[in-house]
Chain A
Amino acid sequence: MGNLDLLMHGFGVAITPMHLMLMVGGVLMGLVVGVLPGLGAPNGVSLLIPLTFALDPTSAIILLSSMYWGALFGGSTTSILFNIPGEPSSVATTFDGYPMARKGESTRALTLAFMSAGVGALIGVIVITLLAGWASNFALQFGAPEYFAVYFLAFAAFIGMGSASPAKTLVSLTTGLLLSTVGMDTVTGEIRLTFGLDQLLSGISFLVVVIGLFGIGELLSTVQEGLRFRGVGSKIDLRDVLRTIAELPRYWATTIRSGLIGIWMGITPGGPTAASFMSYGIARQASRKGEAFGTGRPEGIVAPETADHSAGSCAMLPMLALGVPSSATAAVMMGGLMIWGLTPGPMLFATKPDFVWGLIASMYVSNLIGVILVLATVPMFAALLRIPFAIIGPMIVVICFVGAYTVSSASFDLWLVLLFGLVGYLFTKLGYPLAPLVLAMVLGHKAENAFHQSMILSNGSLEIFFSNTLVTSIMLIALALLILPKTLQLGSRLRRKAPVE
């Protein structure tokens, strides 16, 4: 009960006119930042840090975190409308969100995304409130082998039941892994695959690739298909929003499952991007009509969005309690924390209750503000699809390039966007799935590092991945997810054949 008292105290800190203003301002700025691909939450938050020098730490973190929530909401918008993920964590939302919007149901898709995002955030904050102490102990259990097991699970969950042919999935996956190794390797300190190009020293930015693959790639396909977005003619009606909200409780199982995945990935530094992919993959496996995913299934939107936001909120916990940020944005905020003179760590909860619980209480309030604000903008965003392609097409190109440039202010990245635009177009035309490539780019390097560290620890023995209950159970779940779906398919095919003979 102690935590609830503290939370009430936190509400007292968080709900002041000044703080409410900061929340609305932060969420709005975050929305803008989130909608523009490339200018993601980490950039937005780090741009804001100098402004916070004049604020006290509690107000400062409320402003920064509100911006983060806004960006998480905003990132889904362009994913759904234009197939351009505004944030890395909303890549998985494109898989079903964009097809649904193309069917003329953009209002429904946006509402589903925003509502489940809100629910996800709520689940995350409740967990933080109740389990603040326990969760940080859980995160301490994770060493290198456990991390590898988690990443392996994310891969397994996503790939186990890919609808594309296994060979094509493998090509896409290994391309992604290859791309993720460019740059300096943490474990060996070697520079790899840069071909002497200085521009490749820091690696190939995942965001730049995604903007190219999805944004430009999709645009090329659209041009080929006759210069028209198929979303044109979608009805825009506020009643649609309400109808969709009424539809939500039907997906309760997906919501709860995705919320749990998000919590887990948020607390153990897997991050929102991994959470959304994993959740999407598991939702696809759990669904009986597995094949229909990718055609605009509501669960395909609910799952990644819920997980994304619950992971995003939960990521605050290891940042505050352990000083380990589990998302890029949390890392930037942690930098802010140190500049304001706070030391993240287990003692922060004891020494600065106003700050910690003020932040937690503000997460309830600013997410509520976020949901209301974004729902109000749904008709406006959905209307964007009515603009003729001749106008919106060039605008998307501009947004893509501006977005890619802002990632690290390098003009080299613009060439990469063009190149990957072409790659995306070819992959789509030839039936290679893009998702495994993206997943491998996000998790490839982390998984490789964790694997390499584990190998150093165990002197090269794979037994380390089955050396304690925690890591063994994660590995077993992962292996099951990887093998079972195919075996079951095979089994049912055999059984169906048996009577015929």
Chain B
Amino acid sequence: MTKIKTALLTAAAVMVAAPAMAEWAPNRPIEFVVASGAGGGTDNFARTIQSALTRNDIVDAPMVVLNKGGGSGAEAFLYARQNAGDPNKLIFGTNNVYLLPYVAKLAYTTEDLQPVATLALDEFLVWVKADSPYESITDLIDAAKEAPGTITFGGSQSKDTDETLVALIEQVSGADFKYVPFNGGGETGVQLAGGHIAANVNNPNENIGQWQAGAVRPLCVFSPERMAESEPIGDDMGWHDIPTCKEAGLDIESYQMPRTVWLPKDTDPEVVAFYEDAMKKVAETPEWQDYLTKTSQTGAVLLDEELASFIQTNEDNTVKVFQAEGWTAAE
């Protein structure tokens, strides 16, 4: 009698447990922890995914966006560390997740987060004011060589992607620019349109409005190939008509910023698989395609090993620039 009972109980337990082991699904609201303030690039990235997941019924659980942009996003990554093993928290960032610990002394390391996916690569372009004398990137570099330290490059934040790129341009070309950090790409765009700085390295989305209005124009893009075809935007040029910096004579093969999704470390492999699957589905939704077109980003779904090797390469290349500039935080 007891044997049968035990057997039945075991069977029942196995039946209950089995589906849970095969597949994990969120049973609580998912927190979207965003490593930027509301309205920033990372914020839009996260909210687009939220909208794609909701509208296409990919995930049933409710999703809440939480902005933790303090300390250039470090706040969000520290939050991930404090919530190790929590499967209901997704962290949204860029390459700042693994680059920040190099330039600032922070209480988290990249190992505190589990990479889930990269969904897009944001491009960087060199922009100048529409009526500026510089017709090409070489003009700009030559001018900076002639009068070192006088040509101002604006960018968002300090020792972040923008300043790194400007430093990289300097290291490759031997020119010397003056870098001025502002709060964000939008602000830098307006500073350029107003003629308060000579150039900036904004992402397409941060300057498109000013380009349309004919206030600024692009010189070159830091991608291996030209960007996708598009409608003409400013001066009868579309994104595809912009030369890559390499063909324009500046020897930087590519400089792109990944839009990344992370989990806190120590979650089950099923959890990671669940979110990987969800992100793959997001990449196929019309909302996502629309987002890529509107923001002129390159779609790139990188998961698992591909993602790991991408991160490794990106990290190594950037750290080289950091070291050359002496930015790496003292041990």
Contact = CB atoms under 8 A, between A and B. Distances in A.
Given A186-B158, A335-B39, A408 B68 contact: yes
A145 to B, nearest CB: 9
Interface stretch (B110-118, B177-185, B260-268, B308-316): B177-185
Interface in A128-160: 139-144
B190 A343 contact: no
Contacts of B180: 144, 453, 456-457
A244 interface: no
Contacts of A449: 183
Contacts of B38: 42, 46, 328, 331-332, 335
A49 B34 CA distance: 15
B69 interface: yes
A346 B212 CA distance: 8
A88 interface: no
B182 A201 contact: no
Interface string A166-186: 000000000000000001111
Contacts of B106: 191, 201
Given A189-B158, A341-B294, A449-B183, A347 B47 contact: no
A143 B72 contact: no
B215 A324 contact: no
Nearest to A409: B66
Interface string A44-63: 00100110010000000000
- Most chain A C-beta atoms within 10 Å of own C-beta, residue among B54, B78, B194, B215: B194
A315 to B, nearest CB: 13
B158 A339 contact: no
A221 to B, nearest CB: 32
Contact of A191 (B68, B105, B194): B105
Given A46-B67, A325-B39, A332-B38, A189 B213 contact: no
A8 interface: no
A202 B68 contact: yes
B50 A50 contact: yes
Contacts of B294: 338, 341, 343
Which 4 A-B residue pairs are closest in the complex by CB-CB distance? Answer: A345-B209, A202-B70, A143-B196, A189-B158
Interface of A: 42, 46, 49-50, 53, 139-144, 183-191, 196, 198, 201-203, 322-325, 328, 331-335, 338-339, 341, 343-348, 408-409, 449, 453, 456-457
Interface of B: 37-40, 43-44, 47-48, 50-51, 54-55, 63, 65-72, 74-75, 78, 103-107, 152, 157-160, 178-183, 186-187, 189-191, 193-194, 196, 205, 208-210, 212-213, 215, 290, 294-295
6 contacts: A46-B65, A183-B70, A184-B71, A189-B181, A202-B70, A333-B39
Given A141-B194, A324-B187, A345-B213, 6 more contacts: A189-B159, A191-B105, A201-B78, A335-B40, A343-B209, A456-B178
